[in-house]
Amino acid sequence: MRKQIAAANWKMNLTFQQAEKLLDDVLGAKIQFKGYQQAIFAVPFPYLLLTRSELEEEKNYYVAAQNCYHKKNGAFTGEVSAEMLHSIGVGHCVVGHSERREYFGETNSMLADKLDLCLENFITPIFCCGEPLAIRDTGAQNEFVETQLRESIFHLSPDSFQRIIIAYEPIWAIGTGKTATTGQAQEMHAHIRSCLSKKYGAAADEVSILYGGSVKAGNARELFSCPDVDGGLVGGASLIAADFIKIIAGLK
Ligand code: PGA
């Protein structure tokens, strides 16, 4: 069974105190995970150490950064490197979220460098891809996402490729309350897997592909039931403990 993952993306939300409470509330639910299920918290940089230490005794929970810089180190005031994340015990990092692409000008080639740096530093990247509405409206979403994969992922060796997680997040569904239908999600996930298998063969069957974009407590189970949807990357609903607990429970 491929890993089935519920990943919380807190974005730029919550105070330290609210973050502590949210973690306590989710962990307090004592969710019974199957061996191949995981929950990941992608938290703001200042909360990484807190989250890591809260999860220290937990088996199926992991902490993730929401971003890292695409250079190894140096004079880049305000940025955080993959090496720094590794040095504080962070093992996952979101790479190429559409908000980073849109507001911070991140390109496919910068994201290729971020993937390399994460992997060199033993960090599992959660690589985000997905098309804007204008592309979906013209029906060119498959080619659009394929280009994102080709330009950011396809330089990876087969060994490195097997260490990544992918998140498909149609931009028109992020934070809009408009979720892709199960048909749309499954179709794109199958397309992504087929692009990956053309390049990497059977290894593509082992890579988890998460769906993101208005995943809620009420639609998670249905989305996750699609054969090629291996869980979700969850923004808004991950900020409410009861909702995120239900989303984790919706994993197959
Ligand atoms: P959303 O965000 O669940 O609030 O739509 C998802 C994401 O951006 O990862």
For ligand 1, is residue 23 a contact (CB within 6 Å)? no
Distances (CA, A) of 109 to 65, 106, 184: 20, 8, 27
For the record, the structure tokens of 46 come out as: 């200042």
**pLDDT attached to residue 178:** 82
- pTM for the model: 0.97
pLDDT tens per residue, range 171-184: 999 888 888 899 99
Average pLDDT, whole number, for the chain? 97
Question: Any idea what the CATH number is for the domain that residue 180 is in?
Answer: 3.20.20.70
Could you tell me whether strands 209-212 and 4-9 are parallel, antiparallel, or unpaired per DSSP bridges?
A: unpaired
Residue 174 CA: nearest ligand 1 atom is: 5
- In total, how many domains does the chain have? 1
For ligand 1, is residue 234 a contact (CB within 6 Å)? yes
pLDDT > 90: what percent of the chain? 96
**3-state SS class at 162:** coil
Annotated catalytic residue 97: yes
Residue 9 CA: nearest ligand 1 atom is: 9
pLDDT tens per residue, range 208-230: 999 999 999 999 999 999 999 99
Can you give the residue range of the structural domain that contains 74? 4-249
For ligand 1, is residue 215 a contact (CB within 6 Å)? yes
pLDDT tens per residue, range 30-58: 999 999 999 999 999 999 999 999 999 99
Which entry of 92, 97, 189, 191 is annotated as an active-site residue?
97
pLDDT tens per residue, range 80-127: 999 999 999 999 999 999 999 999 999 999 999 999 999 999 999 999
Q: % helix / strand / coil in the chain, to the nearest 5?
A: 45, 15, 40
Query: Is residue 241 very low, low, confident or very high in pLDDT (cuts 50, 70, 90)?
Result: very high
**CA 227 to ligand 1 centroid distance, Å:** 21
